[in-house]
Chains A and B, each alone.
Chain A
Amino acid sequence: SQTIHQWPATLVQPVGSPLSLECTVEGTSNPNLYWYRQAAGRGLQLLFYSVGIGQISSEVPQNLSASRPQDRQFILSSKKLLLSDSGFYLCAWSGARAVEQYFGPGTRLTVT
């Protein structure tokens, strides 16, 4: 069966510090991968998606970036965090036919 992992589960970082969140998927190959952010009281905002290694599409221009160095690994990064980057970050995967998406447990980021 397929599983998706995210770490860390929670993170508190000062403004201006870098960020690296990691997501890995097991039990499937060539998944579509997604990064979402959910700010307090708001809906899920799609940040990036990837249909293959090295292929990243950005949905929202901001100080975040994503990379996919391996087939089942997706990384979200920032060089300098802003207060507005606080939120619940969710990684998700779907099969190549891109029907339902399955979410990881999420990382709760607080920028202070």
Chain B
Amino acid sequence: GQNIDQPTEMTATEGAIVQINCTYQTSGFNGLFWYQQHAGEAPTFLSYNVLDGLEEKGRFSSFLSRSKGYSYLLLKELQMKDSASYLCAPDASGTYKYIFGTGTRLKVLA
């Protein structure tokens, strides 16, 4: 079966670092997406990891361990505008269908 597990909510302070974890179980696997979704808006693409390891893109980094079924999104130097939901989405192999988790709602406090 397909299963994605993320914390429901996290709170952090402006300027801090936060790590959002995602564990997944899928019947196939090509890679894993992270999307950001502000309240009332559409999701926007953040990253796509295919290989194990850390990929850095500005203040955001994403890590993948295929053998452990685990990924995390690392946000550095948090800003108020980073308050949003972060969706983890495994790309099941060859199906065009990405399985979105319910997301982690991040609140950044001043």
Contact = CB atoms under 8 A, between A and B. Distances in A.
Q: Do the two chains bind?
A: yes
B86 to A, nearest CB: 12
Looking at chain B's contact residues, is the secondary structure mostly helix, strand, loop, or mixed?
loop
A100 B46 CA distance: 9
Given A99-B48, A101-B45, A44 B96 contact: no
8 contacts: A42-B102, A43-B100, A43-B102, A43-B103, A44-B43, A46-B98, A59-B97, A103-B44
Contact of B87 (A43, A51, A100): A43
Interface residues of A, number: 22
Contacts of B97: 46, 49, 59
Interface of A: 32, 36, 41-44, 46, 49, 51, 59, 90, 94, 98-106, 108
Nearest to B97: A46
B48 A44 contact: no
Contacts of A41: 102
A101 B44 contact: no
A31 to B, nearest CB: 11
